[in-house]
Amino acid sequence: MSGDSTPLHSSAVIYEAVQTLRNGGLVAIPAETVYGLAADAKNPDAIKKIFVAKERPSNHPLIVHLAAPDKFDQPQIDWIALLAPWARDVSEDALKLINQFWPGPLTLVFKKDKGVLNELTGGQDTVAIRAPAHPIAIGLLRKFKGGVAAPSANRFGKVSPTSAADVRQEFEGMLGLMVLDGGDCDVGIESTIIDLSSGDKAVLLRPGAITPSEIMAKTGVRVYLPGEIKGDNEKEDLPKVSGSLKAHYAPTTPLRLYAPGRVLDALSEFPDTKSRVAIAVWDSESSLGHDGHPAARFEEVEISSDSVAFASCLYRSLRDLDQQGWDLILFPEPPVGEEWDGVRDRLQRACFGSGPSSSNHDSN
């Protein structure tokens, strides 16, 4: 969303979207993270349409999106009741995270209720749930009065969409796809995912805007990294979640990261990239200059050295550069620090999956 110009939808449009979902159709919805391709989470045929549209492997789980009802007279939302049809064993720690961060870019993984469809969970005994913070998504979910499955609204493994135009371009020619325009996404990368399904430890499965330090500071809940709990025979039991494949979020143009001050090294590493190179540089650093540059033609693209602003524009930058016909895109390695872990994760997966043959990587 951007400023006051956000095109909030009329109740008639929201009503049409609700009817589309109830009829088993797909609706692209804005979230504060990225745009999602939404279907009724209780309808197996509708869920299958998501997998077909995205060309996504059917064993790859989806996240259920919920919203609390609009009750002004309640001091606190009864999340336990809202989660009851989906999740078992909602712990005290889970409620601390929910009451602090929902609605917001935090997904929690629980043991699933027996009524949750296998199509939704990739056949696992866990389910991932979040409450999006975008007003259009909240309005839609409240009127729908149920959960929707909504992975990012893009072809599987490709760069996630952060505007309605991105979604339309991604699914050009797909008849009947309703796209709700909620402006540009604020956060710009997918939600943080925390696994609470083992009962005793909260484990980070995907980094995002909400960091373990922030969770600790605001709730007192310690979030472990997967590597910290090895030895408990738990490493094999971590649920598979969205965005956990090695290749993901990838442009068709080859994408590489360069270490601080090592642009020339990065370029000499890829001599086969011909001549047109787009080089992202921090706004806090001086221009690279053309001296001794092996690339016949390169262009500097300034990117924010603030982690929040960088995340907000990351996919927009990758999409735009991907469409400009460069032979190679170079991005600086993000600085060390938890606040950069989300974008570092996305960039590393994007690099691995990038290039014209990126579809070959998707199964890795």
Q: Of 170, 163, 96, 94, nearest to 128 (Cα)?
A: 94
Other beta carbons within 10 angstroms of residue 156's beta carbon come to 17
SS3 content of the chain, % helix, strand, coil (to 5): 35, 20, 50
pLDDT of residue 109: 97
pLDDT of residue 124: 94
Locus of tokens 């949750």: 116
111-122 in b/e burial notation, b at 16+ Cβ within 10 A? bbeeebbebbbb
Locus of tokens 């990351």: 314
Q: What is the DSSP letter of 322?
A: H
CB under 8 A, 24+ apart: contacts of 92-97:
93/196, 93/202, 93/219, 93/221, 94/196, 96/219, 96/220, 96/221, 97/194, 97/196, 97/202, 97/215, 97/219, 97/221
DSSP codes of every residue in 206-236: E--SS-HHHHHHHH-PPEEPGGGGTTTT-GG
Say if residue 5's pLDDT is above 50. Answer: no
- For residue 14, give the 3-state DSSP assignment: helix
Average pLDDT, whole number, for the chain?
88
Say if residue 362's pLDDT is above 70. Answer: no
Measured distance CA(215)–CA(96) in Å, rounded? 9
Contact 351, 256 (CB under 8 A): yes
Q: Of 163, 181, 38, 190, nearest to 105 (Cα)?
A: 190
Contact 280, 303 (CB under 8 A): yes
Q: Do domains 3-237 and 255-360 have the same CATH topology?
A: no
Measured distance CA(357)–CA(364) in Å, rounded? 13
State the pLDDT confidence band at 178, using cuts at 50, 70 and 90: very high
80-134 tens-digit pLDDT: 999 999 999 999 999 999 999 999 999 999 999 999 999 999 999 999 999 999 9
CATH number for the region 3-237 comes to: 3.90.870.10
33-80 tens-digit pLDDT: 999 999 999 999 999 999 999 999 888 999 999 999 887 666 778 999
State the pLDDT confidence band at 319, using cuts at 50, 70 and 90: very high
DSSP codes of every residue in 275-317: SEEEEEEETTS----STT---SEEEEEEE-SSHHHHHHHHHHH
- What's the token pair of residue 245? 């494949």
DSSP codes of every residue in 254-278: -EEEE-TT-HHHHHHH-GGG-SEEE
Of the listed ranges 172-181, 216-225, 236-245, the least confidently predicted one is 236-245
State the pLDDT confidence band at 4, using cuts at 50, 70 and 90: very low
Question: What pTM value is reported for the model?
Answer: 0.91
pLDDT of residue 230: 64
Of the listed ranges 67-81, 146-160, 302-316, the least confidently predicted one is 67-81
Say if residue 6's pLDDT is above 80. Answer: no
CATH 3.40.50, applies to 255-360: yes
Task: Name the strand (E) or helix (H) holding 106.
Answer: strand 106-112
Q: Which sequence spans correspond to the domains of the chain? A: 3-237, 255-360
